[in-house]
Structure 1
């Protein structure tokens, strides 16, 4: 196995990583060179192909073009050129990526050494450069060009013009000759070979990088999620209110703050805090503070009733700052919960068979009115719902506030709001279709108009599709008389039509029931865990 690949940018200062094996005698033994070479040369072996076929059966490939059309109106030509998932292709891309990722780990290692004061001269130089940039931000544009000059082009030129070999036995420092032709080939960055130690170092660094990212991700979520996801509504509300106040203040005063000095002091202080001797200083100060606490215990006990501790700074209870912070922490969340009105439609059915007088039969309670132009009815589906009122449940996150359902007698309002056509409904004043009275009772029913084959000369429908006759309007009554003029006999009223068996309604009718609900708090994961613990006890 090769020690390293010439021209590859990898971190070679650390030892070769140890790969754990499955041997019973020595579980920490390293894999031999033959096994390593075989492991990376078997990318297109029979096992990979077999596993890829099995994976295709478990997760069938989707058409990329169809997926692009489903997400947007115009297909993305870039997505059409992307290959589908393939295990051999993924293994090949991983090998290529791992052979070229060394430059990232090299940069990460040098940054860690720079900030950890491994070489104080380098860290101090970085502090001076950072301070100059903070004082004069225009120098920030020079940094990329300086990096290209001093870290890319100068090393490349020195590689082309190496110093001549020393022929003397004395220790003389070699010198570079900047004149004359180049003595060495140009330095080119090459990917690490799959059989070199650099490749395994990259694999080790990539493995550790993934673990570090996962740890940081989990720590960030565990730290910030309770503050922002409103699992604790008082805490999240206080954070939201604080962020709102700070945002409003910065919106007005951001241009007045000395940002140069803020970044200068903050950055220099952060780098100085990373110095190894600083931790020793903090530990010594903490130990001295712990020794003085027992001596001041009696004095603190006397002032406990007169002051409170805010961190490590005692404040009097009469302080306005404490009062303000207490008001922020004790946010009132006991306001009246949100209320909504839910509806359900009682649907009834009867047959329109000729010469057959059928009664209305209760069908079910449905969240939709099942009107003649509803999509489910056009598709030929039956209405969906439940048979009894007791089976109607409140929406998720809501609870019933009123004890019982109330009938909505003003059916004209919800019919017009939904722009339902082809129906007749009762109107105010106790009148129904045809203009006949119903004994002063209104049930809020909205019925379908019968088909054309079942309508007689006695049926009169409005142009809007609603059969809403109101005989209290004199002008409309006169119009009806004019329309009926010239006919052989007067129209039958509701009772006469019912006795003669004429159908004035369709197969379906419905009415609307309403009930008030209010929002309830959903149990959090902690509450569920506590409830589960109580059940176990």
Structure 2
């Protein structure tokens, strides 16, 4: 009876084991080379291409040529907010109300956008005279450099950069309050943010958010109406005055918050400031400044807005309120009337 031999492809054969070892060695080499290549990347670059002025210029020209749809959509949105076509603005107001009331309609928004783009391009490419035999034209190429469309895109980029810069400058006015440069103000903001967050978390389930978003969206549309803009311009002075008063009250609250407990419990008294001057070398020189109480040995008289130290000036004090002429005669050469 013939003895059976193991197949060369059997896992127990030496050839199969050698093949497995070779494959494992290849995998090890691949892993090691991947690790070495990843370690050679400069930290912080993220695998980005290096800075090149030529590449920057090329990418900027490409961006200008292909940024037209961005500004078309932006101009369309601004036209709706400015009520350039009242019917469109009312239509979008109704659509916004439906989206807020039925949030599931947001799932259909991408489909509506794609369908609108296709219908718009169909009307733009197919002549209205031959709807039964559409002959779409070629895909429009990006505008050439120096053309009207190219300059229009460049103008839109200029406006966008200015708006972003203005927004950044406006935001930088609040940065010092967030960087703990003013520790007291930053601490107050931290306290307010924590308290408002807890309050919002507790109250959020009871807020009708549908009505809130409907009101916010419709208010944004109504704010762009010409009548609303006129009313806002008329009410601007009153709003500015109210804002200033609110700012003063907020500043006082912050100042009171900075006071210590013993300072808050102390008694507030009203004091007056007096200044004694003498004539030296043809000029009046302040000698004594007193707050709250008069210097000892001085007697002050007041007639209208004028105040004179009679004892210092060498005059006499009579009963009753003297006249300005009496004080002038009693003041002598070294006395001075003060307002």
Is the shorter-chain TM-score for this pair beyond 0.5, marking a shared fold? yes
2:175 is the counterpart of 1:243:
no
1:162 is the counterpart of 2:112: no
Question: How much has 1:331 moved relative to structure 2?
Answer: 3.0
- Contact 1:156 / 1:187 at 8 angstroms: preserved in 2? no
The structure that is helix-richer by fraction is 2
Cα distance, 1:234–1:282 mapped onto 2, change above 3 Å: same
Work out whether 1:196 is the aligned partner of 2:147. yes
Match of 2:98 in 1: 132
Q: How does 1:379-418 map to 2 (within 5 A)?
A: none
Distance 2:73 2:113 in 1: 13
Which 5+ residue runs of structure 2 have no aligned equivalent?
A: 1-36, 262-339
Does the residue aligned with 1:190 lie in a helix, a strand or coil?
coil
Q: Which residue of 2 aligns with 1:339?
A: none
What is the number of residues matched between the two proteins? Answer: 222
Question: Which whole-Å CA distance do the structure 1 matches of 2:56 and 2:259 have between them?
Answer: 52
Maintained 8 Å contact 2:126/2:136: no
After TM superposition, the score normalised by the length of structure 2 is 0.56
Give 2:167's aligned residue: 216
Q: Does 1:270 align with 2:220?
A: yes
Partners in 1 of 2:68 and 2:164 — Cα distance? Answer: 17
Distance (Å, rounded) in 2 between the aligned partners of 1:310 and 1:209: 29
Q: 1:328 deviation in Å?
A: 7.1
Q: CA deviation at 1:197?
A: 2.0
- 1:238–1:329 contact (8 Å) kept in structure 2: no
1:236 Cα offset (Å): 2.2
| Partner SS for 1:240 | helix
Instruction: Note closer, same or farther for the CA distance 1:235–1:212 as it changes in structure 2 (3 Å cut).
Output: same
- Which residue is equivalent to 1:121? 87
Cα deviation, 1:377-427, whole Å, max 9, x if unaligned, reads: xxxxxxxxxxxxxxxxxxxxxxxxxxxxxxxxxxxxxxxxxxxxxxxxxxx
Match of 1:102 among 58, 63, 68: 68
Counterpart Cα distance in 2 of 1:97 and 1:286: 40
Q: 2:213 & 2:255 partners in 1: Cα distance?
A: 31
Q: After TM superposition, list the pairs within 5 Å mapping 1:293-308 onto structure 2.
A: none
After TM superposition, give the deviation of residue 115 of structure 1 in Å.
0.6
Q: Relative to 1, partners in 2 of residues 1:98 and 1:161: Cα closer, same or farther, differing over 3 Å?
A: closer
Correspondent of 2:257 among 331, 350, 374: 331
Distance 1:239 1:206, change over 3 A: same
Q: In 2, Cα distance between the equivalents of 1:329 and 1:228?
A: 19
Q: Which residue of 1 aligns with 2:112?
A: 146
Residues 235 and 329 in structure 1, CA contact (< 8 A), matched pair in contact too: no
> CA contact under 8 A between 1:230 and 1:236: conserved in structure 2?
yes
Q: Separation in 2 of the partners of 1:209 and 1:96? A: 17
Contact 2:81–2:224 under 8 Å retained in 1? yes
Cα distance change of structure 1 residues 91 and 284 upon mapping to structure 2, 3 Å threshold: closer
**CA deviation digits over 1:317-367, x for unaligned, max 9?**
xxxxx9xx98776334869xxxxxxxxxxxxxxxxxxxxxxxxxxxxxxxx
Aligned-residue CA RMSD (Å):
3.6
**TM-score, normalization: structure 1?**
0.37
Alpha-carbon distance between aligned partners in 1 of 2:201 and 2:233, rounded to the nearest angstrom? 40
Superposition deviation, residue 109 in structure 1 = 1.2
Partner residue of 1:93 out of 59, 69, 94? 59
1:234 alignment partner in structure 2: 184
